[in-house]
Structure 1
Amino acid sequence: MSRTWQLALFVLGATVFGYLVAQIGITELTADAARTGLMFVPIVALYALVYACSALAWQLTMAGDPQRPSYWRTFAVLISSGALNFLTPLINAGGEPYRVAAMAPWLGKRRAAGSVILHRMLHSFTYVLIWLTAVLLAFPLLPRGTPQIVWVLLGVVLVLILGIIVLFLSALRRGMLERILNWMERAPFVNRLAVKVEPHRALLIELDRQITDFYHRSPRRFVQAIALEYLSRCIFMVELVLIVASLGFGIDYLRAFSIGGLEAIVSNALFFVPFEVGAREGAFFLLFKLFGMDPQVGLYTSIVGRVRDFAWIAGGLVLIWVTGGGSREPAPSAAPPVAPRV
């Protein structure tokens, strides 16, 4: 996507955000911020538990390597990569190369890359499970007067989510990187890119092997990693309960979970909007209204979420420098790739 399109989308998102703020009124939002007060502290601190669970899940993918880094270094690298991901709009993947580089001194580049890809897949798979839970909760929790089109959309989304889950399980069981390369070689427009990637086929086979080995040879750790990632998102949903409570309103946890999960679906569907500007705000505004709540609270919820984002981005960038001094000699690379199993 060209810079012109990125700028246009950013301006469009900012315009939507500005319109929503103008509709509510800056005075009203300022009053809400004043009412939140010290509740900002637990709201921001809550995300430490989210990172803590995810870091444990990442450690499980490295459990078979005696040279793996400590938990606290893994925790710090994960926070820093999260900051870098947020600062790379559209693909949200700027932190992944950093994670590979940060883990390479302990694991070697290939094993580090395999660990990062595997954890990313587990993280994404758990996100899809969260979406599934949110959609299933929406059916009994939405008011009876909800427009028919909403029910239809929920049904379509449910089918798509189930399809994505099947694809994820297939990738974890049989690998996906080499299959993607094979598809690229046959597909128009991207086959030229496949020619450039082809020399790295052996590396892709090895990374696929690391992913499938974790699923087949360590099923207990696989389930534990998924459970930890799921728990991290469950903890994250408490944020909505705290924000709404700080404004003097009430929302039960299951409703907050459904709203948070549905908002994540909308934001991911609008991934091309830089920094989700306008997309997140509009989604919360509409979802709170759909669930029979004050949409103003939904808009403010998204604003508080951005404050939390910025706080952790700052912390993540600081940790890049703080943990930089603990580097060590690079670990030897993994053994030469083995031929794929028939």
Structure 2
Amino acid sequence: MILTFDMNYQELWENVKCAGIYLPLILLLWSFIYLVNTLSWYIIIRSGGKLGLSFPRLYKFTVTGFALNYVTPVGLMGGEPYRIMELTPYIGVERATSSVILYVMMHIFSHFCFWLSSVMLYVCLYPVGWAMSILLGAITVFCLLIVILFVKGYQHGMAVACIRMGSRLPFLKHRVIRFAEKHHEQLVNIDRQIAFLHQQKKRTFYTALLLEYMARVVSCLEIWLILNVLTTNVSFISCILIAAFSSLLANLLFFMPMQLGGREGGFALAVSGLALSGAYGVYTALITRLREIFWIVIGLVLMKIGNKSDNKSF
């Protein structure tokens, strides 16, 4: 892919070195983004009652959870079980599970809200041909369907529905059914706690959603900082569109660890769509990979520091 763009290896390396002064800013920016993510999760947990752990410890769980999601195929299969395990000694397994499911739903829900708003932003700022109209229409319909699905999940809960879906899988069917029969009461309680936030704690619900959406927008500063090393012709609005469409393509490859290839291709296509060289997209993806690896290492190190011994029994 790099060979097909108008930027050779030497030029790419020179651009990476130019980003040296911006790289610490990018790393610091993501410490703030993780802080916003933690705050969103914190208010979700607090809505269910007293929280028996400090905010810095929850920040640790957040960073490590995202690190595990980055390196695990199918993403959420790594970080979310870890978060539940760590939270259980403090608030119990049912509340820990419901709070993690709620946060994951909020995190994913904000993704679709971000993509929908980016479609509207593109339509308002750029000419739309028939091919782009079809693409944007398909993205809009897809996102709206998922939003409706999430609204239903917030109203009635998701745990029982997920178990019901799992009971139809050929190789897992019998295990899932046995699990559902054994833990039926706990699953119903988890769904009740999920629905409670949307029905009774609407202020908390929308605050958490706004924080997650804000984290998406703030993360676009990373792209703006990187691209401004190469060119001054990129606005922050353009960076929002690049982030939206590249993340949409990358998330279609959710089953791959770190979305390898999808992220780079997504950046290249998104940048090319705004009349810039696709090589800028590859360069941007490379810098984001360096940031990603840095925070993965931090997250995995934090996983071994300051753990509560009680969680061994989970």
Aligned counterparts of 2:178 and 2:9: Cα–Cα separation in 1: 52
Residue 328 of structure 1 and its aligned partner are, at CA, apart by 6.2
Corresponding residue number in structure 2 for 1:179: 161
Corresponding residue number in structure 1 for 2:29: 46
Aligned counterparts of 1:312 and 1:95: Cα–Cα separation in 2: 14
Cα gap change, 1:233 to 1:188, in 2 (>3 Å) = closer
Cα gap change, 1:196 to 1:141, in 2 (>3 Å) = farther
Corresponding residue number in structure 1 for 2:208: 225
Corresponding residue number in structure 2 for 1:8: none
Is the aligned partner of 1:166 residue 2:128?
Answer: no
Q: Which has the higher contact order (CA 8 A, sep 6+)?
A: 1
Residue 107 of structure 1 and its aligned partner are, at CA, apart by 0.6
Residue 259 of structure 1 and its aligned partner are, at CA, apart by 1.2
Cα gap change, 1:273 to 1:99, in 2 (>3 Å) = closer
Q: What percent of counterpart residues are identical?
A: 29
Is the aligned partner of 1:313 residue 2:279?
Answer: no
Corresponding residue number in structure 2 for 1:102: 86
Aligned counterparts of 1:271 and 1:120: Cα–Cα separation in 2: 15
Aligned counterparts of 1:119 and 1:276: Cα–Cα separation in 2: 21
Aligned counterparts of 1:274 and 1:65: Cα–Cα separation in 2: 35
Aligned counterparts of 1:182 and 1:329: Cα–Cα separation in 2: 31
Residue 29 of structure 1 and its aligned partner are, at CA, apart by 0.4
Question: Which amino acid is 1:79 matched to?
Answer: V
- 1:198-250 Cα deviation digits (max 9, x unpaired): 22222211110110011112111111111111111111011111111122433
Cα gap change, 1:317 to 1:191, in 2 (>3 Å) = closer
Question: Which TM-score applies when normalising by structure 1?
Answer: 0.84
Residue number among 80, 95, 101 corresponding to 1:111 in the alignment = 95
Is the aligned partner of 1:57 residue 2:40?
Answer: yes
Aligned counterparts of 2:169 and 2:49: Cα–Cα separation in 1: 40
Is the aligned partner of 1:82 residue 2:66?
Answer: yes
Cα gap change, 1:84 to 1:91, in 2 (>3 Å) = closer
Residue 182 of structure 1 and its aligned partner are, at CA, apart by 3.8
SS in structure 2 opposite 1:68?
A: coil
Corresponding residue number in structure 2 for 1:93: 77
| 1:116-265 superposed matches below 5 A | 116-142=100-126, 144=127, 148-185=130-167, 187=168, 189=170, 191-199=173-181, 200-265=183-248
Number of residues paired by the alignment?
308
Aligned counterparts of 2:217 and 2:293: Cα–Cα separation in 1: 21
Unaligned runs of 5+ in 1: 1-18, 334-342
Structure 1 contact 134–259 (Cα < 8 Å) conserved: no
Structure 2 contact 109–147 (Cα < 8 Å) conserved: yes
Indicate the RMSD between aligned Cα atoms, in angstroms.
2.0
Aligned counterparts of 1:210 and 1:42: Cα–Cα separation in 2: 39
Cα gap change, 1:183 to 1:95, in 2 (>3 Å) = closer
- 1:240-282 Cα deviation digits (max 9, x unpaired): 1111112243311111111101111111112233422211111
Structure 2 contact 71–257 (Cα < 8 Å) conserved: no
4+ runs deviating over 6 angstroms: none
SS in structure 2 opposite 1:321?
A: coil
Structure 2 contact 70–257 (Cα < 8 Å) conserved: no
Question: Which amino acid is 2:34 matched to?
Answer: Y
Residue 156 of structure 1 and its aligned partner are, at CA, apart by 0.9
Structure 1 contact 49–235 (Cα < 8 Å) conserved: no
| 1:9-20 superposed matches below 5 A | 19-20=1-2
Structure 2 contact 118–244 (Cα < 8 Å) conserved: yes
Structure 1 contact 90–275 (Cα < 8 Å) conserved: no
Structure 2 contact 106–209 (Cα < 8 Å) conserved: yes
Cα gap change, 1:180 to 1:274, in 2 (>3 Å) = closer
Residue 127 of structure 1 and its aligned partner are, at CA, apart by 1.1
Residue 193 of structure 1 and its aligned partner are, at CA, apart by 4.7
Corresponding residue number in structure 2 for 1:12: none
Question: Which amino acid is 1:272 matched to?
Answer: F
Structure 1 contact 178–204 (Cα < 8 Å) conserved: yes
Corresponding residue number in structure 2 for 1:32: 15
Residue 321 of structure 1 and its aligned partner are, at CA, apart by 2.0
SS in structure 2 opposite 1:272?
A: coil
